[in-house]
Amino acid sequence: MPSIMTEKEALRRRIGAAAGRETADLVIRNCRIVNVFTGEIESGEIAVVDGVIVGTDAGCEGRVTIDAEGRFAAPGFIDAHIHIESSYVSPEQAGRMLVPHGAATIIADPHEIANVCGLDGLRYMLEAAKGTKLNIIYAMPSCVPATAFEDAGAKLDAEDMKELLADERIFGLGEFMNMPGVIRADDAALDKLTLARSMGKIVDGHAPGLSGKDLNAYASAGILGDHECRTPEEIRERISKGMYALLREGSACHDLRALLKGVTEASSRRAMFCSDDRQPKTVFAEGHIDHHLRICVEEGFDPVTAVRMATLNAAEAFRLYDRGAIAPGRRADVVLLDDLKDFHVHRVFIGGELVAEEGRYLPELTFADISTVRGSVNIRNFSADRFKLKLAGNKACVIGVQKGSIVTTKETATVQTDGDGDFVFDPRLDVCKLAVVERHHGTGRVGVGLLGGYGIKAGAVAVSVAHDSHNIIVAGVSNEEMAFAVKALISMEGGMVVVKGGEVLAAMALPIAGLMTTESGEWVADRLETLHKKALELGVSTDVEPIMTLTFMALPVIPALKLTARGLFDYEKFDFIPPEA
């Protein structure tokens, strides 16, 4: 909209075009419109003025006319919960990847970068969002750090949040991972919740495994929904208590098919789609929300119901009342689809502007300055000796990797030790050493434990992406290999590395907070493919995603056993435990 045009004049022009007195800016003719209000497919055309839909009936005149050639016109897709940082690309590059798959809006929780850089990280993300046509609605990270058991780069309390929480680009508090704090009504948790309520802001949820009275307590705090549902029963319980159920299908978690069994036609209005974490490789191979839609139809869902779950439901849940449907007064976020089975995206319009066509993102990219979020790797008092795990006996606790899941098991194993009691790798036993190195404040903290089911037989794999505090996490067969890998990451300002015998076999530098790069999604996918290939050559199991698996091994708010820089953490006990079994 021209800056000289007042809101009143803009409204007058919009009404005039809707009434047929004026010419629209754009008309998309010959559409089959997916009406998410009525559940019907309607023949019509879409008239747009100043980025807003003003009509869906035949007979509109436009300065620019586009023939949809009978394609289906759906509202722009909305991802209800995603962490951009987990794609390893900047917000600008994330938009370039996701928009061609129909994404018009994403609800992004930047708690990854906030855990590294605090509010500077959030300010960077807000600035970077200006460089993409994708509409990025941010959350204020609610739990920095996620728990009191981690060493994050920053700490945000309610007072710290006030200024930026008031920003209209921030919908409210992001996933409230401190479930025990909410259920116990701890002061710090209540301070954040009441701050959000006082500002009329939403609070998003994170409640794996909660049920019964604990879920009542969590929901009674006014928390919107949950993206951590693992069973159809959990979906049904959350919806029955008035919460929204966010159905996740990401790179690490493939939950959607199972969760759809908990959704009925009636309850579908309380369900919406999210990715949580989605790597470039997954986007290029499967897509984004368009992939969710394909799965829904394969599972027998009505395609219009599925489109509603991808659009209107999320718009209403997050109070984005200007979008989510193709109707007069809504933003002209329109996806032209070849069909409602494969959901092949032909063209994407955001705010009435053609921004993608046949998989190509059309606008030029401009990037925000990253200087405030560089130099995030700060490690002191480090040597290979810090990786020694002195066990009191030969029976040890082991973090058990599960295929296709970020949830781990709590295992025990009989292991070998040397004369000092340090763990000794045995290639006949699928157990390797795992360590988390604090990288933010130079505390010198190193947590050491054991990882089972990873499969590594030589060398080491290390990353500076370790949810949610993002310290360095490294798995390997010896203290020396692991130390070499960590030193390689330090020299790269963070990233990912695979090493063997004192040689770097593959690497990807992530200079933005040790989490992201301004390079393209294709560049990241290529580097990740090489990292995966080299990790598999070290013996990492083909059933394990070698990089993303590691990134979740330090996340203590997910069951069952995890490792932080302070030691081995038992989710059920919600406390640290010794490495001996």
CATH value at residue 288: 3.20.20.140
Those residues with Cβ within 8 angstroms of residue 554's Cβ, 6 or more apart along the chain or in another chain = 150, 436, 466, 467, 469, 471, 473, 562, 563, 564
Where b means 16+ CB within 10 Å and e means fewer, 69-99 reads eebbbbbbbbbbbbbbbbbbbbbbbbbbbbb
Distance separating alpha carbons of residues 361 and 513, to the nearest angstrom: 26
Q: Is the dihedral of CA 414, 418, 423, 424 positive or negative?
A: negative
The values of phi and psi at residue 486, to 5°, are -65, -40
Q: Provide the pairing of β-strand 503-509 with 495-500.
A: antiparallel
Q: What pLDDT is attached to residue 120?
A: 97
Max CA distance (Å), the chain: 89
Considering the domain boundaries, does residue 108 fall inside one?
yes
Whether 403 shows a pLDDT value over 90: the answer reads no
- Give me the number of domains the chain comprises: 2
Q: Nearest CA to 548 among 100, 125, 85?
A: 85
Whether 217 shows a pLDDT value over 60: the answer reads yes
- Summarised one tens digit per residue, pLDDT across range 64-90 is 999 999 999 999 999 999 999 999 999
Q: What pLDDT is attached to residue 59?
A: 83
Higher pLDDT, 280 or 4: 280
Whether 3 shows a pLDDT value over 60: the answer reads no
Q: Which amino acid is at 205?
A: G
In a 13 Å sphere around the CA of 422, the CA atoms on its Cβ side amount to 15
Average pLDDT over the chain reads: 95
Distance separating alpha carbons of residues 541 and 552, to the nearest angstrom: 16
Q: Provide the pairing of β-strand 395-400 with 409-414.
A: antiparallel
Q: In what order do the strands lie in the sheet with 561-564?
A: 561-564, 567-570, 575-577
Q: What pLDDT is attached to residue 5?
A: 63
pTM equals 0.93
Domain of residue 451 covers 374-577
| Claim to verify: residue 112 and residue 207 sit in the same structural domain | yes
| Claim to verify: residue 131 and residue 191 sit in the same structural domain | yes
Q: What pLDDT is attached to residue 147?
A: 76
Residue 121 binned pLDDT confidence (cut-offs 50, 70, 90): very high
Considering the domain boundaries, does residue 210 fall inside one?
yes
| Average of per-residue pLDDT across 392-415 | 93
CB 116 within 8 A of CB 152: yes
| Claim to verify: residue 224 and residue 316 sit in the same structural domain | yes
Distance separating alpha carbons of residues 225 and 490, to the nearest angstrom: 38
| Claim to verify: residue 171 and residue 288 sit in the same structural domain | yes
| Average of per-residue pLDDT across 260-277 | 97
| Claim to verify: residue 312 and residue 460 sit in the same structural domain | no
Whether 162 shows a pLDDT value over 60: the answer reads yes
| Claim to verify: residue 423 and residue 524 sit in the same structural domain | yes
| Claim to verify: residue 306 and residue 413 sit in the same structural domain | no
| Claim to verify: residue 209 and residue 296 sit in the same structural domain | yes
- In three-state form (DSSP H/G/I as H, E/B as E, the rest C), the secondary structure along 107-168 is EECCHHHHHHHCHHHHHHHHHHHHHCCCEEEEEECCCCCCCCCCCCCCCCCHHHHHHHHCCC
Q: What pLDDT is attached to residue 170?
A: 97
What's the distance, CA 31 to chain centroid? 33
List 41's β-bridge partners, or say none.
34
Q: Residue 222's CB: how many other CB atoms inside 10 A?
A: 13
Domain boundary among 263, 289, 324: 324
Residue 2 binned pLDDT confidence (cut-offs 50, 70, 90): very low
Element (H, E) at 235: helix 232-240
Helix, coil or strand: residue 463? strand
CB 497 within 8 A of CB 491: no
| Average of per-residue pLDDT across 99-105 | 98
| Claim to verify: residue 102 and residue 204 sit in the same structural domain | yes
| Claim to verify: residue 286 and residue 379 sit in the same structural domain | no
Q: Nearest CA to 157 among 135, 141, 168, 138?
A: 141
Whether 1 shows a pLDDT value over 60: the answer reads no
| Claim to verify: residue 320 and residue 383 sit in the same structural domain | no
Distance separating alpha carbons of residues 221 and 316, to the nearest angstrom: 20
Domain boundary among 286, 305, 324: 324
Q: Residue 521's CB: how many other CB atoms inside 10 A?
A: 21
Considering the domain boundaries, does residue 401 fall inside one?
yes
Considering the domain boundaries, does residue 363 fall inside one?
no
- Summarised one tens digit per residue, pLDDT across range 499-541 is 999 999 999 999 999 999 999 999 999 999 999 999 999 999 9
| Claim to verify: residue 465 and residue 387 sit in the same structural domain | yes
| Average of per-residue pLDDT across 563-580 | 95
Whether 465 shows a pLDDT value over 70: the answer reads yes
Where b means 16+ CB within 10 Å and e means fewer, 162-184 reads eebbeeeebbbbbbbbbbebbbe
Q: What pLDDT is attached to residue 252?
A: 77
For 60-64, 322-326, 492-496, which range has the lowest pLDDT when averaged over its residues? 60-64
Considering the domain boundaries, does residue 568 fall inside one?
yes
Complete DSSP assignment for 315-377: HHHTT-TT-SSSSTTSB--EEEES-SSS--EEEEEETTEEEEETTEE-SPP-----GGG----
Considering the domain boundaries, does residue 361 fall inside one?
no
CA distances (Å), origin 485, targets 204, 247, 341, 488 = 37, 36, 46, 5
Question: Residue 541 burial (CB < 10 Å; 0-12/13-18/19+)?
Answer: middle
Element (H, E) at 171: strand 170-176
Domain boundary among 264, 290, 324: 324
Q: What pLDDT is attached to residue 4?
A: 54
- Summarised one tens digit per residue, pLDDT across range 321-342 is 999 999 999 999 999 999 999 9
Considering the domain boundaries, does residue 173 fall inside one?
yes
Considering the domain boundaries, does residue 352 fall inside one?
no
Q: Provide the pairing of β-strand 24-35 with 62-67.
A: parallel
